[in-house]
Chain A
């Protein structure tokens, strides 16, 4: 029973174009969402987050959109760069779990081609 789903295992994009990574969740108790980026042989690193009281959060080339009614969020990278090639994990947290526990999706491998 996966509560956080990333249905695309991989995505290939041309350098300079937009990358859109998608994530769906099933638990309506989730109220905070995070994206992590992971390079091979390294641990995941925090990228950007969004609270359920917002529908958009932007940080430089990265924007996360949240659609609560659809239980869907997406990460947009514009413009995409070869250095963005990595595995991207979506994660969710529920307020009642005040310890900060996260539920992760299985990841989407992004390849940005020069």
Chain B
């Protein structure tokens, strides 16, 4: 089965450091989503792309977060500078970009900011 691959699986770093999370979507999927899961908010959409173009990043704190798709096989989510409140699990998902088509999730990056 094709899978979405996320790296790293775990990241622990100190406040103020830059964090980069990577995602390899499923080949042939044209839509990529970044979610953040916290105990309080559940799964929140941060940003998503279609055909590598950003469609919506309204869920993302733009002063410190940035999301890009340098090519069709790589999506990145960066936090600079990182803060303790950014500690969460970050999921990437990919899909075919049409209503009703299920998104396929990676196993997430567990981020801890000390």
Q: Give A contacts to B, CB under 8 Å.
A: 31-32, 34, 36, 41-46, 49, 51, 89, 93-95, 97-107
Contacts and interface: CB of A to CB of B under 8 A. Distances in A.
A105 B93 CA distance: 17
B42 A49 contact: no
Interface stretch (B13-21, B61-69, B103-111): B103-111
A104 B4 CA distance: 19
Interface of B: 4, 31, 33, 35, 41-43, 45, 48, 50, 55-56, 91, 93, 95-108
Contact of B31 (A34, A51, A100): A100
A36 B35 CA distance: 14
Nearest to A51: B100
A98 B43 contact: no
Contacts of B101: 100
Given A99-B31, A100-B31, A105-B42, A32 B103 contact: no
Given A43-B107, A94-B99, 8 more contacts: A32-B99, A42-B107, A46-B102, A93-B100, A95-B99, A100-B99, A104-B43, A106-B43
- Top 6 closest pairs, chain A to chain B, by CB: A43-B105, A106-B42, A46-B102, A104-B43, A32-B100, A43-B107
Nearest to B41: A106
